[in-house]
Structure 1
Amino acid sequence: MAKKKILFINQEISPYVPDNAMSVMGRELPRTMQDRNHEIRTFMPKWGNINERRGQLHEVIRLSGINLIIDDTDHPLVIKVASIPSCRVQVYFIDNDDYFSNRQMTVDENGLDYPDNGERAIFFARGVLETVKKQCWVPDIIHCQGWMSGVVPFYIKTAYKDEPSFANTKVVTSLFNKEFQGDFGTNFKQCVDFRDAKSELLAPYNDEFTFQDLGKLAIDYSDGVILADKDVSKTLQKYAKDKNIPTLGFQGEEFGDAYEAFYDQISPEL
């Protein structure tokens, strides 16, 4: 297939967080595509439980310093970077003291959901896209993995649709069986509002956004869906099917050829 520029936006990547189906795929998919000579870039949140010294993270000053306004509040964006020695994959980390550095992942030390998880996902999505713009890099494919990247397809097809970096980009969303059990706050729709990403576009979804709502939002604005895990939500599978979204079934460990072919189907060579 034609070599592509692929942007991976991941919720979790091993070894920075514990191994599970999502974090292992977060590492192996970029590695596999890089080994096949595709040009890749990879992002994840800088969760507070990531050991920066052990992972050898360091700040990228030239990419940091942007302020993102969410719900009328400024939030400084900090970009860090590290490389996974075992597979030579470089990872960019989206950081912010309020949302990530001083927090655990989706729940706090007492196992309670962070009430602003929706805002955190919005900050992460916009942080990645603003950083890619600043890098003047033009991906052919954006591949989103995990609910933290669930707002990205919506932003690509609305707020960022006229940006040179994303005007012709196709979006793929991977679905996993690792569901988020809480909701994303009563102000999620208000916080999403940015440029052409108008909150009224979210009228079809529940006012209190749930995991299922965010999954449906990602599917609605994606060009393709991948079942990246066993036992993915039957509701979301049916939703993608009813919407006639091209869908690739679960591939197991030998996924490289099928994923490449799916990328080519979604974003054929011009």
Structure 2
Amino acid sequence: MSKRKVLIVTQEMEPYTVAKDIATTVRALAPHLQKNQMEIRVLMPRYGTINERRHRLHEVVRLSGMNIIVDDNDFPLIIKVASLPDKGLRMQVYFLDNEDFFKRKFVHHDKEGKPFADNADRTAFFCKGVIETVKKFGWPPDIIHCHGWMTSLIPFYLRTAYSTEPLFADSKIVYSLYQSEAEEHIATDFPNKASINALSAEDLAPYMHEGKPDLHGGAIKFADAVIKGSTELSAHNESLLAAAEVPVLDVQGEDAPAASLDFYFSLLEEEVVK
């Protein structure tokens, strides 16, 4: 049987970003999957904090050159790649880059700790850019695993604007929810920024709660399964998991890679080959 394909989309990953829940989880997960006969591709933003020389990033010319429309403006998408340092493995990580959104020397906040005013635009750009890049790969993923609020639009886009795209017809979407209050990062005009391909702000109603952006809530609405990525969540985020109408896996730490693999196969209705 051919290898199952797993697309990991993440806003953070060691060693490229600071070691937090998301970064450490993805760093452990990706090699584990590859060692267990899964075909893996990892996509993340190319923040200005990432040292290209140290991590040996280089542009993938055949994938670059697309323009992504956000809020009626065109933004060029540049794709770069690096090999994840791991003994005995050769795994490539793809970085989505744009000078307007990702060249700054901070990730989601400025030097005073204030969220960037264009975080909504950055999120829409990244999520649409991921989908368009995978289309260029011509690589149909069996599992699409999204990590963090900056990936939260991918389930929505795939089930709406890209619902007729055959490449994703059989993909199962997993969303990992971490302890991050996404609404603290995103302005209330988020639905207008995230509307693409003839979608309207009304279509994004699941991403709003009591007049504020609720990116985790929207992602869970359109995902096929959810993983609780942080041990402790806010009361609101716990309520989202409790109300979820899809399978939920509660796993963190060193148990997460193996449990996630089993979870994938349960979604694909196959037995894990140990």
Give how far 1:179 is off.
Answer: 3.4
In structure 1, what is the Cα distance between the partners aligned to 2:95 and 2:19? Answer: 18
Greater displacement, 32-41 / 258-267: 258-267
Q: C-alpha deviations, 1:88-145, integer Å up to 9, x for none?
A: 3210001000000234100012222101101101100011110000110000110000
The letter of the residue matching 2:132 is: E
Q: Judging changes above 3 Å, is the alpha-carbon distance between structure 1 residues 82 and 111 closer, same or farther for their aligned structure 2 residues?
A: same
Q: Judging changes above 3 Å, is the alpha-carbon distance between structure 1 residues 209 and 126 closer, same or farther for their aligned structure 2 residues?
A: farther
Q: Is the 8 A contact 1:157 1:221 kept in 2?
A: yes
2:133 corresponds to 1:131: yes
In structure 2, what is the Cα distance between the partners aligned to 1:197 and 1:95? Answer: 25
Q: Is the 8 A contact 2:183 2:215 kept in 1?
A: no
Give how far 1:206 is off.
Answer: 4.1
In structure 2, what is the Cα distance between the partners aligned to 1:170 and 1:153? Answer: 10
3-state DSSP of counterpart to 1:255: helix
Which residue in 1 is equivalent to 2:152?
Answer: 150
Q: Judging changes above 3 Å, is the alpha-carbon distance between structure 1 residues 61 and 5 closer, same or farther for their aligned structure 2 residues?
A: same
Q: Is the 8 A contact 1:77 1:95 kept in 2?
A: yes
3-state DSSP of counterpart to 1:24: helix
In structure 2, what is the Cα distance between the partners aligned to 1:203 and 1:137? Answer: 31
Greater displacement, 21-30 / 90-99: 21-30
Q: Is the 8 A contact 1:188 1:208 kept in 2?
A: no
Which residue in 2 is equivalent to 1:255?
Answer: 256
The letter of the residue matching 2:21 is: A
Q: Judging changes above 3 Å, is the alpha-carbon distance between structure 1 residues 207 and 155 closer, same or farther for their aligned structure 2 residues?
A: farther
TM-score, length basis structure 1:
0.92
Which residue in 2 is equivalent to 1:85?
Answer: 85
Aligned length: 268
Which residue in 1 is equivalent to 2:227?
Answer: 226
Give how far 1:219 is off.
Answer: 0.4
Which residue in 1 is equivalent to 2:52?
Answer: 52
Which residue in 2 is equivalent to 1:239?
Answer: 240
TM-score, length basis structure 2:
0.91
The letter of the residue matching 1:97 is: E
Query: What does 1:1-270 correspond to in 2, within 5 Å?
Result: 3-86=3-86, 88-180=90-182, 182-195=184-197, 197-204=199-206, 205-206=208-209, 209-210=212-213, 213-269=214-270
Q: Is the 8 A contact 1:47 1:101 kept in 2?
A: yes
Give how far 1:185 is off.
Answer: 2.0
3-state DSSP of counterpart to 1:54: helix
The letter of the residue matching 2:54 is: R
Give how far 1:2 is off.
Answer: 8.2
Q: Is the 8 A contact 1:185 1:208 kept in 2?
A: no
Unaligned runs of at least 5 residues, structure 1: none
Q: Is the 8 A contact 1:22 1:146 kept in 2?
A: yes
In structure 2, what is the Cα distance between the partners aligned to 1:94 and 1:24? Answer: 20
Q: Is the 8 A contact 1:158 1:196 kept in 2?
A: no
Q: C-alpha deviations, 1:196-222, integer Å up to 9, x for none?
A: 643211235248643xx1000000000
The letter of the residue matching 1:177 is: Q
Give how far 1:250 is off.
Answer: 1.8
Give how far 1:238 is off.
Answer: 2.2
Q: Judging changes above 3 Å, is the alpha-carbon distance between structure 1 residues 2 and 267 closer, same or farther for their aligned structure 2 residues?
A: farther
The letter of the residue matching 1:230 is: T
3-state DSSP of counterpart to 1:254: helix
The letter of the residue matching 1:11 is: Q
Greater displacement, 196-205 / 16-25: 196-205
In structure 2, what is the Cα distance between the partners aligned to 1:56 and 1:203? Answer: 41
Give how far 1:55 is off.
Answer: 0.7
4+ runs of 1 displaced by more than 3 Å?
178-181, 206-210
Q: C-alpha deviations, 1:13-38, integer Å up to 9, x for none?
A: 10011212211112111111011010
The letter of the residue matching 2:245 is: N
Q: Compute the RMSD of aligned alpha carbons.
A: 2.0
In structure 2, what is the Cα distance between the partners aligned to 1:2 and 1:238? Answer: 39
Q: Judging changes above 3 Å, is the alpha-carbon distance between structure 1 residues 133 and 207 closer, same or farther for their aligned structure 2 residues?
A: farther
